[in-house]
Structure 1
Amino acid sequence: GALASLAGTLPIPEEIKLKDPKDFKIIGTSRKNVDAQKIVTGAPLFGLDYHREGMLIAMIEHPPAFGLKLKSLSADAAKAMPGIRDVFVINTQPEGFEPQWSDTNAFPELVAVVGNSTWEVLQAKRALNIEWEKVSDLEDTDSHNAGFAKLLSQPTDKPARKDGDPEAAFRRAAKVVERTYTSPFLAHNTMEPMNFFAHVTDEKAELVGPVQTPEFLRKSAASMLQMSEDQISIMMTRMGGGFGRRLYGHFGLEAAAISQKVKAPVKLVYTREDDMSQGTYRPPYQVTYRAALDANGNLIGWHVRGCGVGGSPLFADRFPAGAVDNYLTENHSLESNISTGAWRAPRSHFTAYAEQAFLDEVAEAAGKDPVEFRLGLFERALKNPVGKNNDYDAERYAGVLRLVKEKAGWGAEKPGVYRGVSAYYCHNSYVAQVVDLVMEKDQPKIQKVWCAVDCGIVVNPDAAKNQIEGGIVDGIGHAMYSTLDFHRGKAKQKNFDQYRLIRHGEAPAEIEVFFVENGIDPTGLGEPSLPPIPAALANAMYKATGKRLYNLPFVGDKKVLG
């Protein structure tokens, strides 16, 4: 603090000469995580570890379904239970509250239970007698799918992008390929459930916990507590997983509201069921792709129409925009009272799968190798691009595909090995992957994933490799197993006995990562390795089984990999 204050008094130089990358001594070398030993030995680092002498424990009860709100509360039995201090209603978005973008929350009005220990509070929470009332539709997965189907059958008033004459291209096509892809709602399911510490007095508010957006939580807390931002302090702990879930700091606001009410330090702790039924989910999406091929197998037309809860997953100016003369992208949105939010590689996590699985099928229909088919499109985008707003560098995109082709030995016969390829661009980085799949006892097993990455200068090679490997495993698990379904506004899956995640034996036996060395400024790395892997896996599974996969998850709760 003292050093920062002193630095703040220094004059700002008009020009700063940056160090030449060839002189870097730390950037580009592997460094161990400074907290690694504490993490593996269980030292207190995370929000759930945080303790303050005299603090109370709090839990919340939110409506059990989207479309319901609190009608009445009978808490006498719960209040009489051992260790319980109080039970009351809080509202984190009272009249006059000025919300930030991070205040996505379907349930601002909650019941809070406060007591001495987690176990005592949990028992009292289960003893609550609450009556809920309907305020909007109680939605179902079936109704969402029906809404998507209706939207996908309709053109939009104004396309997101249109190049050439797509309608004419499809009329004169020798062959048309059309496929629809789907994905469900998903929870974030961080290993560490939501939690936050708060101590609110008349003079100040002290908030401590795992959150990805402390600056916006501070603004929201000031508005809710009717304090100035100078009176709010936020200390971040280490997070037991984020994936976008902790962008939305409602749990920090809830802890602050509870502390203000009981006039004591409080730690709020969510159960897994609280978190999985709260919302801010990854939205469900559906898209329909159409490709027009001429008699020589050339791609002459491309049309994609997408929709999702709260918005379309499509990026109109990304590949293959710029590589096809006749191109059309249309976006639809389905309204819902189920709250959604960012999930690792927002929108890209689904679009990459659908686009790259479809491209594989189009290449097959054209009678071309899937890698060479893609490289041909990149060549077109590089030498004679269509349009001026193409949101990618075709040379770098093709570069990772060539690199993974070389490293994986694509095209060489590997008896008993079934291969799939995929490439995608997001967060300003380029990733291409090859999946090697084998069959063991009539079940597929991922033998190896080859991954080429262009993220500019690699700051910490070991940590970068870890990010890539983690994204690949995460992407495989969710593509294979995870789903969140709704009936009358309620999430059917509320814990891991119903919501399937990848297991150790189902992870790839080997992952090999290759980084492009080009000296370009660093770009994103925490997310770009996840989007392409579902398509690479789907394309490999097609080679192994002869069946194309159009719906996520591929197998749900069945055990397939490993």
Structure 2
Amino acid sequence: MSVQENNLAFSRRNFLKTSALASGGLLVGFNLFTACKTEAKPPVDIANLNFNDFNAFIKIADNGYVTIFSPNPEIGQGVKTAMPMIIAEELDVEWDKVNVAQAKYNKKEYTRQVAGGSQSIRFGWDALRQTGATTKQMLVNAAAAKWGVDAATCKASKGIITNANGETLGYGDVVKEAATLEVPENVTLKKPSEYTIIGKDAINVDLEKIVTGKPLFGLDYKAEGMSYASVLRPPAFGQTLVSFDDTEAKKVNGVTDVLKFGDKVAVLATNTWAAMKGKKALKAVWSSDKDLESTDDHNKILNGILDANDFETRRNDGDVNRAFKEADKVVEKTYHSPFLPHNCLEPMNFYANVTPERIHLIGPIQTPQWTAGRVAQLLKRKESEIELEMTRMGGGFGRRLYGDFALEAAEVSSLANKPVKVVFSREDDMTDGIYRPAIKYRIAASIKDGKLTGYHLKEAAINGNMYDLIPNFFPAGCIPNYKVSTKNYQSKITTGAWRAPYTNFLAFAEQSFFDEVAEELGKDPVQLRLDLLQNVKNTNDEKIEYSGQRMEDTIKLVAEKSNWGEEKEGVYKGFAAYYSHNTHVAEVAEIEMEDGIPVVKKVIAAVDCGIIINPTGAINQIQGGVLDGIGHAMYGDFTFKNGKPSSKNFDTYRLIRMNETPEVEVHFVENELSPTGLGEPGLPPAGGAVANAMYKALKNRMYNQPFIKELQTKKTEVLG
């Protein structure tokens, strides 16, 4: 929906309001993501009104200050700042008079309290604007009634309502009267030209607490009588617990209890150090599974899948086999990516207090509803008995989607009959993770009479993939004969979403491949993409996810800003463009050689994500995604030997370092389209842009991540 659609009907049933609060304000609940349940009714007894009755709401105090409760988990993507900005814009208040607070999880009122897929702003855009605009209209109507004039002759700006005679009333002056009026069915939304908050830089609402170290994250949370728990888990994927001896663990000062649950053992203590020390003192016997997996096994299995051609077809346009038979030349390449851990700055942790009356959960979680449901099922309790509070997260990247750590906390608390906080060490985090799956892609293209006529993408993955997305991304619709085939191997190693799931590697593979095809065709890499996009711009295929025109505009912008085509001695440029999470991104990486080593000096990124809510936050998200993409493509490597991860901490796991981070210059395509995601789309093209720049610098193509490892392998092969 574009922002030109300014007149919106807003159902009275989906807009909750009450009269004055004890603090002298107006409480307005709002329907985020159009998910407010129709059975939700305003509290009958205002005297008994409790903020917990709502998932997310606006509170306007009689002094004019506004509190906006943000329902979505804050994972560092900035929604706790951006979403309230949207409400404040339509509410017409001054941003410096807005206070933002995190709301609790509440299934009754909302259905999408999720941080994942870069979808929060996209799904919330219309409902958040409606919320602010409807609240403003209620206040204007109240002021008009007080003056005895037509509301149409009144205007509101910066929290002040003015009538035709120049008389003014502040929002705080009419909140009580507004609570007695009907909720307007139709409201008029602002045009982009009228925005005073959206599109302006805003400081992260949690910044002061972050830099001053005030309690904000899950690791900061403490409760009276709380025990800390460190959990011993199977050391290898596929192993189970046979027995354990806790004699030495119980001797550790501070350890209060040792509990077995499933194939795990929890050590409870008065502090984290004692709990972790006690866990190390446990003596456990594990089963000796003969089928424990290693990376060498995975490589053979995935190569075997690619060679066997026993795939499921996900998309099949035209006749790929015929195109290949009639081709003058067929280009075929294979690309590989390893498992990767998430490595959140804040390790996994969660607090639980399970009592006969309720289950109180507090911590950093991306999926509160799913987690609450699983806890209820685990403990055989009603979900209505669960109260879940979300803390800010010190990174997530998909790892905190799964909530296994919350389930552990709930189960241990239930067994111990006391409040418990489970805390992972860095070693726990890396060795018992839910990893990015190892994947191999084999891509083939047919060339006939100087044109690209066929394209076949084969995917071999550990534990499956996002089949509904990949077939309909670029280059779907661009090539007449186009096929996508997939096959997976079910592994005991747990895998899942990792920032920009699957496209984080697929973009590198495809964008590297297109550069190779461009070279075969004697075409400029950028021009090849632009030429291909002409075939999809007017397509009627509703399955295709991306926009040919928006992708073209994004590519042209990055080409302009990077001076693509202009050569500079000692600087090697690589290009990549990709669509993911509803956003189009194009990037150009610049590499220079230093002591024979390719060094990424700069990345220029162009982004079409519709309207920008908070430019500072938007730029930060793209910069973070680009650096993450470069770092893992260059250095990220994670292997297994007999079911055990090769790395347990950062002393053996290579991350990008501060002195290796390039300048990232960000440009946005200007339009008035509804906003889309930003937390993930900047990452996928980064690996491809760097790989294509490295080819120009080294005359060596990159087919395997991490690139540094491949360069070392090739160097060894050359030296013999």
**Alignment TM-score, normalising by the size of structure 1:** 0.92
State the partner residue of 1:511: 664
Q: Which moved more, 1:155-164 or 1:297-306?
A: 155-164
| Cα drift, residue 434 of structure 1 | 0.3
State the partner residue of 1:301: 454
State the partner residue of 1:85: 256
State the partner residue of 2:233: 62
Could you tell me which of 344, 347, 359 is aligned with 1:205?
359
| Cα drift, residue 142 of structure 1 | 1.0
Question: Where does 1:520-531 land on structure 2 (aligned, <5 Å)?
Answer: 520-531=673-684
Could you tell me which of 514, 517, 522 is aligned with 1:359?
514
| Cα drift, residue 134 of structure 1 | 4.3
| Cα drift, residue 161 of structure 1 | 1.2
Q: How far apart are the structure 2 equivalents of 1:166 and 1:557? A: 31
Q: How far apart are the structure 1 equivalents of 2:432 and 2:326? A: 50
State the partner residue of 1:541: 694
Q: Secondary structure at the match of 1:153?
A: helix
Q: Which moved more, 1:151-160 or 1:433-442?
A: 151-160
Q: Does 1:368 align with 2:523?
A: yes
| Cα drift, residue 387 of structure 1 | 5.4
Q: Secondary structure at the match of 1:72?
A: strand
Q: Say if 1:386 and 1:149 are closer, same or farther in 2 by CA, change over 3 A.
A: farther
Could you tell me which of 331, 336, 343 is aligned with 2:498?
343
Q: Which one-letter code corresponds to 1:85 in the other structure?
A: T
Q: Secondary structure at the match of 1:257?
A: helix
Q: How far apart are the structure 2 equivalents of 1:5 and 1:513? A: 37
Q: Secondary structure at the match of 1:433?
A: strand
Q: Say if 1:386 and 1:225 are closer, same or farther in 2 by CA, change over 3 A.
A: closer
Q: Are the equivalent residues in 2 in contact too, given 1:163–1:386 (CA < 8 A)? A: no
Question: Where does 1:408-557 land on structure 2 (aligned, <5 Å)?
Answer: 408-508=562-662, 510-556=663-709
Q: Secondary structure at the match of 1:536?
A: helix
Q: Secondary structure at the match of 2:313?
A: coil
Q: How far apart are the structure 2 equivalents of 1:252 and 1:169? A: 52
Q: How far apart are the structure 1 equivalents of 2:639 and 2:589? A: 29
Q: Does 1:40 align with 2:208?
A: no
Structure 1 residue runs without a partner (length 5+): 92-108
Q: Secondary structure at the match of 2:444?
A: strand
Could you tell me which of 300, 304, 314 is aligned with 1:150?
304
Q: Secondary structure at the match of 1:459?
A: coil
Q: Which moved more, 1:36-45 or 1:455-464?
A: 36-45
Q: Deviations over 1:53-77 (max 9, x none)?
A: 3321110001001111111121122
Q: How far apart are the structure 1 equivalents of 2:312 and 2:597? A: 46
Q: Does 1:282 align with 2:436?
A: yes
Q: Which one-letter code corresponds to 2:672 in the other structure?
A: G
Q: Secondary structure at the match of 2:387?
A: strand
RMSD over equivalenced CA pairs, Å: 2.1
**Alignment TM-score, normalising by the size of structure 2:** 0.72
Q: How far apart are the structure 2 equivalents of 1:69 and 1:25? A: 59
| Cα drift, residue 326 of structure 1 | 1.2
Q: Secondary structure at the match of 1:243?
A: coil
Q: Are the equivalent residues in 2 in contact too, given 1:324–1:386 (CA < 8 A)? A: no
Q: How far apart are the structure 1 equivalents of 2:312 and 2:184? A: 48
Q: Say if 1:77 and 1:332 are closer, same or farther in 2 by CA, change over 3 A.
A: same
Q: Secondary structure at the match of 1:142?
A: helix
Q: Does 1:264 align with 2:435?
A: no
Q: Are the equivalent residues in 2 in contact too, given 1:220–1:253 (CA < 8 A)? A: yes
Q: How far apart are the structure 2 equivalents of 1:252 and 1:495? A: 22
Q: Are the equivalent residues in 1 in contact too, given 2:507–2:685 (CA < 8 A)? A: yes
Q: Deviations over 1:283-322 (max 9, x none)?
A: 1100100111123x21011111111111146611211111
Question: Where does 1:304-315 land on structure 2 (aligned, <5 Å)?
Answer: 304-312=457-465, 315=470
Could you tell me which of 251, 261, 267 is aligned with 2:405?
251
State the partner residue of 2:190: 19
| Cα drift, residue 468 of structure 1 | 0.3
Q: Which moved more, 1:224-233 or 1:332-341?
A: 224-233
Q: Secondary structure at the match of 1:316?
A: helix
Q: How far apart are the structure 2 equivalents of 1:67 and 1:230? A: 35
Q: Secondary structure at the match of 2:321?
A: helix
Structure 2 residue runs without a partner (length 5+): 1-17, 31-40, 43-178, 713-720
State the partner residue of 1:96: none
Q: Which one-letter code corresponds to 2:273 in the other structure?
A: W
Q: Say if 1:13 and 1:248 are closer, same or farther in 2 by CA, change over 3 A.
A: farther
Could you tell me which of 463, 471, 484 is aligned with 1:316?
471
Q: Deviations over 1:6-33 (max 9, x none)?
A: 7752977654443323222211111101
Q: Give identity over the alignment, percent.
A: 48
State the partner residue of 2:139: none
Q: How far apart are the structure 1 equivalents of 2:505 and 2:465? A: 11
Q: Which moved more, 1:129-138 or 1:449-458?
A: 129-138
Q: Say if 1:370 and 1:129 are closer, same or farther in 2 by CA, change over 3 A.
A: same
| Cα drift, residue 196 of structure 1 | 1.1
Q: Deviations over 1:240-289 (max 9, x none)?
A: 10101101111111112212222222221111111111131111100100
Q: Does 1:159 align with 2:313?
A: yes
Q: How far apart are the structure 1 equivalents of 2:371 and 2:466? A: 27
Q: Say if 1:381 and 1:278 are closer, same or farther in 2 by CA, change over 3 A.
A: same
Q: Secondary structure at the match of 2:543?
A: coil
| Cα drift, residue 392 of structure 1 | 1.3
Q: Secondary structure at the match of 1:380?
A: coil
| Cα drift, residue 453 of structure 1 | 0.1
Question: Where does 1:376-395 land on structure 2 (aligned, <5 Å)?
Answer: 376-383=531-538, 385=539, 389-395=543-549
Q: How far apart are the structure 1 equivalents of 2:679 and 2:192? A: 22
Q: Are the equivalent residues in 2 in contact too, given 1:325–1:386 (CA < 8 A)? A: no
Q: Which moved more, 1:358-367 or 1:439-448?
A: 439-448
Q: Secondary structure at the match of 1:139?
A: coil
Q: Are the equivalent residues in 1 in contact too, given 2:702–2:710 (CA < 8 A)? A: no
Q: How far apart are the structure 1 equivalents of 2:583 and 2:459? A: 23
Q: Secondary structure at the match of 1:76?
A: coil
Q: Deviations over 1:386-439 (max 9, x none)?
A: 955322110001110011001111001211110000000000000000011111
Q: Are the equivalent residues in 2 in contact too, given 1:471–1:529 (CA < 8 A)? A: yes
Q: Which moved more, 1:53-62 or 1:353-362?
A: 53-62
Tell which structure's C-alpha radius of gyration is larger: 2
Q: How far apart are the structure 1 equivalents of 2:597 and 2:319? A: 45
Q: Are the equivalent residues in 1 in contact too, given 2:230–2:422 (CA < 8 A)? A: yes
Q: Secondary structure at the match of 1:420?
A: strand
Q: Which moved more, 1:176-185 or 1:14-23?
A: 14-23
Q: How far apart are the structure 2 equivalents of 1:52 and 1:436? A: 50
Q: Are the equivalent residues in 2 in contact too, given 1:289–1:303 (CA < 8 A)? A: yes
Q: Secondary structure at the match of 1:523?
A: coil
Q: Say if 1:228 and 1:389 are closer, same or farther in 2 by CA, change over 3 A.
A: closer
| Cα drift, residue 154 of structure 1 | 2.6
Q: Are the equivalent residues in 2 in contact too, given 1:74–1:128 (CA < 8 A)? A: yes
Q: Are the equivalent residues in 1 in contact too, given 2:704–2:710 (CA < 8 A)? A: no
Q: Say if 1:491 and 1:74 are closer, same or farther in 2 by CA, change over 3 A.
A: same
Q: Which one-letter code corresponds to 1:260 in the other structure?
A: S
Q: Deviations over 1:490-511 (max 9, x none)?
A: 1111111111100001100x21
Q: How far apart are the structure 1 equivalents of 2:711 and 2:687? A: 17
Aligned length: 540
Q: Are the equivalent residues in 1 in contact too, given 2:312–2:487 (CA < 8 A)? A: no
Q: How far apart are the structure 1 equivalents of 2:360 and 2:321? A: 60
Q: Say if 1:357 and 1:82 are closer, same or farther in 2 by CA, change over 3 A.
A: same
| Cα drift, residue 123 of structure 1 | 1.7
State the partner residue of 1:329: 484
Q: How far apart are the structure 1 equivalents of 2:388 and 2:459? A: 40
Q: How far apart are the structure 2 equivalents of 1:12 and 1:501? A: 53
Q: Which one-letter code corresponds to 1:500 in the other structure?
A: R
